[in-house]
């Protein structure tokens, strides 16, 4: 019986093709960040409050104006169908059933329209993108997400440099799985190039081409963010909910 995520993690390697196992389990370089992520998470403790007079407990929260039952967002990873036959559809349905946020990766092997059709109308869906070198690819993703009922855009700005061990496993993974291309990106695979020199001007461009809120994913420190933030959001402060840009 599987009781938690760690049970799945322990059992999965014996069931997976070594290529997929190496891809999902590996980080980059010395794996230092991968190890620290787990250790940092394990250092978090929830403080228990007593004598509060609370009768009805809830985890409900409001995020970007939408109420969610569980304040968790499924990170925009890709290739879910490699590890389960339902792929991202199953992930989206699971998130919806718990009242959490489904964040779909633009490099998913399932189209954003298929994901939208697989969950109830009220399910909270966000669409991830990179600042691709060909801006028309980004514009197409944005317009399709708006039309399909996604309620926010997530732009990833920390695409890592890939060391050889990670690059080899990732390259072989994609060579095997993306022979038919990515359904969310209307371009040949070889033309899908992520811009490695993003600036705040690129984020401002994205904010200005959509009516959806924009969430910036991958900023590790506050350095330089606050001083540039006001220029992107028409002088709204970082902690103002009504701003279109969320960091």
pLDDT digits (tens, 9 = 90+) for 62-103: 999 999 999 999 999 988 888 888 999 999 999 999 999 999
Instruction: Name the band, by pLDDT with cuts 50, 70 and 90, for residue 218.
Output: confident
Beta carbons of 207 and 233 less than 8 angstroms apart: yes
**CA–CA separation, 154 vs 77, rounded Å?**
12
Instruction: Name the band, by pLDDT with cuts 50, 70 and 90, for residue 237.
Output: very low
pLDDT for the residue numbered 199: 85
**CA–CA separation, 208 vs 176, rounded Å?**
37
Average pLDDT, the chain: 82
Highest mean pLDDT among 33-42, 185-194, 216-225: 33-42
pLDDT for the residue numbered 127: 98
Please state the three-class secondary structure of the chain as a single string.
CCCCHHHHHHHHHHCCCHHHHHHHHCCCCCCHHHHHHHHHHHCCCCCCCCCCCCCCCCCCEEECCEEECCCCEECCCCCHHHHCCCHHHHHHHHHHHHCCEEEECCCCCCCHHHHHHHCCCCCCEEEEECCECCHHHHHHHHHHHHHCCCCEEEEECCCCCCCHHHHHHHHHHHHHHCCCCCCCCCCCHHHCCECCCCCHHHHHHHHHCCCCCEEEECCCCCCCHHHHHHHHCCCCCCCCCCCCEEC
pLDDT digits (tens, 9 = 90+) for 148-202: 999 999 999 887 555 554 555 555 666 655 555 688 987 666 677 787 788 888 9
pLDDT for the residue numbered 31: 80
Beta carbons of 123 and 92 less than 8 angstroms apart: yes
Q: Is the pLDDT of residue 144 over 60?
A: yes
What number is the average pLDDT over the span 198-222?
89
The pTM assigned to this predicted structure is 0.84
pLDDT digits (tens, 9 = 90+) for 119-129: 999 999 999 99
**CA–CA separation, 242 vs 79, rounded Å?**
34
Instruction: Name the band, by pLDDT with cuts 50, 70 and 90, for residue 214.
Output: very high
- Is residue 247 classed exposed, middle or buried when 0-12, 13-18 and 19+ CB atoms within 10 A define those classes? middle
pLDDT for the residue numbered 173: 62
Q: Is the pLDDT of residue 241 over 70?
A: no
**CA–CA separation, 170 vs 227, rounded Å?**
36
């Amino acid at each position: 019986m599987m009781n938690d995520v760690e049970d799945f993690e322990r059992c999965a390697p014996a069931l997976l093709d070594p290529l997929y196992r190496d891809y999902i389990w590996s980080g980059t370089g010395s794996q230092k960040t991968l190890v620290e992520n787990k250790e940092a998470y394990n250092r978090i403790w929830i403080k228990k409050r007593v004598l509060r007079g609370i009768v009805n407990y809830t985890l409900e929260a409001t995020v970007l104006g939408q109420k969610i039952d569980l304040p968790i967002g499924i990170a925009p990873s890709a290739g879910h169908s490699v590890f389960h036959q339902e792929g991202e559809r199953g992930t989206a349905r699971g998130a919806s059933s718990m009242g959490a946020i489904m964040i779909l990766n633009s490099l998913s092997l399932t189209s954003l329209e298929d994901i939208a059709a697989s969950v109830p109308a009220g399910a909270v869906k966000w669409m991830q993108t990179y600042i691709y070198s060909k801006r028309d690819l980004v514009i197409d993703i944005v317009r399709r997400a708006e039309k399909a009922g996604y309620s926010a855009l997530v732009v990833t700005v920390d695409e890592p440099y890939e060391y050889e061990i990670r690059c080899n496993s990732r390259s072989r993974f994609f060579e095997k799985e993306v022979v038919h291309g990515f359904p969310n990106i209307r371009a040949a695979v070889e033309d899908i190039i992520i811009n490695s020199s993003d600036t705040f001007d690129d984020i401002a461009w994205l904010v200005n081409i959509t009516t959806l809120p924009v969430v910036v994913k991958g900023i590790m420190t506050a350095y330089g963010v606050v001083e540039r933030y006001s220029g992107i959001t028409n002088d709204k402060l970082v902690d103002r909910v009504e701003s279109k840009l969320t960091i």
